[in-house]
Amino acid sequence: MSARGRQRAEPPVAVSRTPSAYTGKVVAEVRSSALVMDAGESDSAPLRSTCAPGGQFFEAWMKPAAQGVRPAVVLAGHARDSEHLAARGTTEVITPDQVA
């Protein structure tokens, strides 16, 4: 039974199964380019409006998206962490200023 008292249609995903094996959906390819999002400190994100329509990050992400390119998103705190980027297949880090 689930938390809401209903039975699950299928058992939970086993750790060894891939999302595509469970859902039948195609898993997205790794995106090698990532756009840096700086919303400020993670606990309060005072600059989160940058992600809203009209905000610098939003507009910078939408430009390549309009051309069919969907960059990944990397938080500013991880943008220079080579291990973090490599684990996600990120080879190019782009700032919103570079997209303008």
Helices (H), the chain: 19-23, 56-66, 82-87, 96-99
Task: Check residue 34 and give its pLDDT.
Answer: 94
Q: Cα(37)–Cα(4) distance, rounded to whole angstroms?
A: 36
pLDDT at residue 63, rounded to an integer: 94
Q: Please give the pLDDT value at position 23.
A: 65
For the chain, helix (H) and strand (E) counts, in that order, are: 4, 3
The stretches in the chain having pLDDT less than 70 are 1-29
Q: What is the pLDDT of residue 5?
A: 58
pLDDT at 22: 60
